[in-house]
Structure 1
Amino acid sequence: MNKKILFLVFNLLIFSIKAQKSFSSEYEAGYTLDYKKSNLPNAKSELTTFILMMNKKESYFKSMNVYVADSLKYYKKIKETGNAVLDFKTFSRFSAEYPENIGITIGKIYVTTPITQAYVSYEEPNNIEWTLINEFKKIGNANCQKAITKKYGRNWIAYFNPNIPLSFGPYKFNKLPGLIVELYDDKKDFHYKLYLFKKRKYVCPFANSYKNIKPAKKEHVYQWKKEAFLNTDFSDVLDNADAETIRKLNRNSRKLYDQYNPIELNPN
């Protein structure tokens, strides 16, 4: 029950499509992410997937669940009814642990993300710096080179394929002389792996499909996400739950706050 309710509170509104911003893609990649959302030493990892759309100058990265739901909404295969219970049943299967929409250009990174019932956006300089390491690993049929960087409070290790001359990768990571096919931090809290790459020339009309987005300071965004656990009172969400259930859910929110393990431990 806890997970379903959290999906309702934090993710339901991410699929509200009102205005479209398209992205022109020439290549498409799929990544898995093995992640630990808890900072406990014995935390179990979970698995999710993402899509990366690219052309030679820009990329766009988002959760595969969000991508699928946005597509179904755009082509009117599913729709919101205004009934919270019915909409939850429809959209909960598209819930995303990491619902950020991340656009990358040569000089900037643009992020749109939901914070409870609103959308915020921020931008940051695309200034990641890598150290290339003279080490190689066979991934699939490719001989991939190692690179390391310190970014967002973590030490990251990447392997890129120099035979695919696209300088992009998962999340916000880019600027290597080849597509990133594997990326992980040294604690293995977050581990991305490429599982699909193909040429696919098309225009995605629903890449960033939100309106009434409020600009925010990046340093506030992750704190708001963390505080959202504490700001949820389940007595406002559940109509028929008994008092003990409400207390348990609210206590669990406090645990989630204390154990929150974001990708970015600091904003730089």
Structure 2
Amino acid sequence: MIFLNLVSLCSAQDYRFTYNYKSIPDTLRKDSVINEEMVLDVDPDKSLFFSLRKFISDSTMAEDAKKGLMTMPDQNIHTRYIIKKNYSDSKVSLTTDEFSTAYKFVIADERKLNWKLLPQKEIISGYECQKAELIFGGRIWSAWFTETIPFHDGPYKFRDLPGLIVKIEDSKGYHSFQLKEVKKTISSEIYNNIDVGKNIRNLTFSEFIKFYKDFRKDPSKDFRQRAMSGEIYYESDEKRSEHMRIVEKLRKDRIKRDNNIIEIDMIK
């Protein structure tokens, strides 16, 4: 069975690997566990990693826009980024629309992953896996990969092991990914609008860290500037001031609850 699976996957062109992503975004409320379905789409040239819920929301909005309809994004989306890994040059980038209503940010990440392969083996999700460890993003990660699935890839930015990562979690159990499903990708499931709809701002990883720290100090800066410039219409100055206060409070409250991000060293 392992041999047949290996032959099938080697001959396939495009595959979709679905992971369950369990995270605890707020260390002050450790019972506030979030479970998300995340997708790793693989083709011969690259992979894309994204939230299935975001993909469905973006696809719905794109189809409605073709009909002249305006649909609001799903407000229950937790993970808004899309991670792209190019296989030819090993370049990794993260695209997100989380920090601005006017821009999408594309953040290049050229860091190497220094894995330590360990002798332990275990059957996980039906696959024979080997253990590896990594220090990345201020966390110690334990990964289990299988050479049965011959893609040197995995969830989030994790990659470059001798097979697909089936499970990976940090040492404190705050963030974990586990493979749920493997299937052939069909054309309607491909993420086609990753770079569509907004202006793109390209940043290096070091530039993004500076931006991100400033954003957490003042998450409403971009919105406030647009509101004060008249780009956003209000019936009166009182309405504008009231709306700005509401937005600022909501964004600051969200930042407080999001104190356990996956790359925790970015806020230390």
Same fold (TM over 0.5): yes
Contact 1:27–1:197 (CA under 8 A) maintained in structure 2: yes
CA distance in structure 2 between the aligned counterparts of 1:249 and 1:180, rounded to whole angstroms: 39
Contact 1:70–1:206 (CA under 8 A) maintained in structure 2: no
Q: Which residue of 2 aligns with 1:214?
A: 201
Provide Cα deviations, 1:213-246, integer angstroms capped at 9, x if missing partner. Answer: 112322135325534656578xx8999x9xxxx9
Structure with more contact order per residue of length (Cα contacts < 8 Å, sep ≥ 6): 1
The verdict on how the C-alpha distance between 1:207 and 1:127 changes in structure 2, with shifts beyond 3 A counting, is farther
The 3-state SS of whatever aligns with 2:106 is: strand
1:116 aligns with 2:116: no
The 3-state SS of whatever aligns with 2:130 is: strand
The offset of 1:254, in angstroms, is 4.1
Query: What is the letter of the counterpart of residue 257 of structure 1?
Result: I
CA distance in structure 1 between the aligned counterparts of 2:68 and 2:36, rounded to whole angstroms: 24
Q: Which residue of 1 aligns with 2:255?
A: 257
The verdict on how the C-alpha distance between 1:188 and 1:58 changes in structure 2, with shifts beyond 3 A counting, is same
Q: Identity of counterpart residues, as a percentage?
A: 23
CA distance in structure 2 between the aligned counterparts of 1:77 and 1:256, rounded to whole angstroms: 29
Q: Which residue of 2 aligns with 1:102?
A: 83
Query: What is the letter of the counterpart of residue 96 of structure 2?
Result: T
Q: Which residue of 2 aligns with 1:92?
A: 74
The verdict on how the C-alpha distance between 1:59 and 1:205 changes in structure 2, with shifts beyond 3 A counting, is closer
CA distance in structure 2 between the aligned counterparts of 1:54 and 1:126, rounded to whole angstroms: 21
The offset of 1:48, in angstroms, is 1.1
1:50 aligns with 2:11: no
CA distance in structure 1 between the aligned counterparts of 2:123 and 2:77, rounded to whole angstroms: 31
The offset of 1:80, in angstroms, is 7.3
The verdict on how the C-alpha distance between 1:221 and 1:261 changes in structure 2, with shifts beyond 3 A counting, is farther
Q: Which residue of 1 aligns with 2:137?
A: 152
What 5-or-longer segments of structure 2 have no aligned partner? 1-12
Larger Rg: 2
Root mean square deviation of aligned Cα: 3.3
The offset of 1:40, in angstroms, is 1.8
Contact 2:141–2:170 (CA under 8 A) maintained in structure 1: yes
The more displaced of 201-210 and 152-161 is: 201-210
The verdict on how the C-alpha distance between 1:43 and 1:225 changes in structure 2, with shifts beyond 3 A counting, is farther
Provide Cα deviations, 1:21-70, integer angstroms capped at 9, x if missing partner. Answer: xxxx6111111111111132635211111111102442111111121122
Contact 2:54–2:74 (CA under 8 A) maintained in structure 1: no
Q: Which residue of 2 aligns with 1:5?
A: none
Within-5 A mapping of 1:223-234: 223=213, 226-227=216-217, 229=219
Report the TM-score when normalising by structure 1: 0.73
Within-5 A mapping of 1:176-255: 176-200=161-185, 202=187, 204=190, 206-210=192-196, 211-216=198-203, 217-223=207-213, 226-227=216-217, 229=219, 253-255=251-253
The more displaced of 163-172 and 102-111 is: 102-111
CA distance in structure 2 between the aligned counterparts of 1:226 and 1:179, rounded to whole angstroms: 34
Within-5 A mapping of 1:25-40: 26-40=14-28
The offset of 1:92, in angstroms, is 2.8
Contact 1:31–1:192 (CA under 8 A) maintained in structure 2: yes
Within-5 A mapping of 1:39-78: 39-40=27-28, 42-76=30-64
